[in-house]
Amino acid sequence: MPMRPARCYTHFSSPPYTRKEYIPGVPQPKISKFEMGNHKLEADYSVKLIVMEDGQIRHNALEAMRVAAHKMLSAKVGEENFYLKVIRYPHHVIRENKMMAFAGADRLQDGMRLSFGKPIGTAARVYKGYEILEIRVKEGHLDLAKKAAKIASSKIPLPSKVTIEELKGQAN
């Protein structure tokens, strides 16, 4: 598996760390809105962003993905002509063992001894085939929705693909 720039928190090997009632000082996730646009829209197509590898997506990457897709869609299509939903929620708490990096720091810190770490943020754990973003639009705006999903995929650390599903004849 080739390594990519966002490798510090992208891959995981331990169970998720999610019990926030036992974890003091967990920061709130940056992503606050998960649904935007017109939720009553009678859409013809659903454009979905699907991850192609197991990994973690940090809360700030989810927010950047949401903002990029929403900005493009609201500017080009209009707020009433699409429905955007971020499907995954960042439950997993990420910890970091902070190290001091200045002269004399070796006398102040313990290195890897008792290196449990302090909470620094949250992440969504995803597996191959998980949907992370859905955009519903009418047929005339399908190309713009595909472009918005492609822009959103560039904001996350995992490789992803855009799929299109026709919704005609289905209950929304």
Contacts of 26 (CB under 8 A, 6+ apart): 20, 93, 119, 122
User: Across all residues in the chain, what is the average pLDDT?
Assistant: 87
Token duo for residue 162: 């855009």
Instruction: Domains for the chain: give ranges and CATH numbers.
Output: 29-96+116-166 (3.90.1170.10)
* Interval 123-156: pLDDT, tens: 999 999 999 999 999 999 999 999 999 999 999 9
Least confident of 76-85, 100-109, 137-146, 153-162: 100-109
At 40 the pLDDT is 93
The more confidently predicted of residues 96 and 51 is 51
- Tokens of residue 62, six digits: 């989810």
Question: Rounded CA gap, 161 and 66, in Å?
Answer: 16
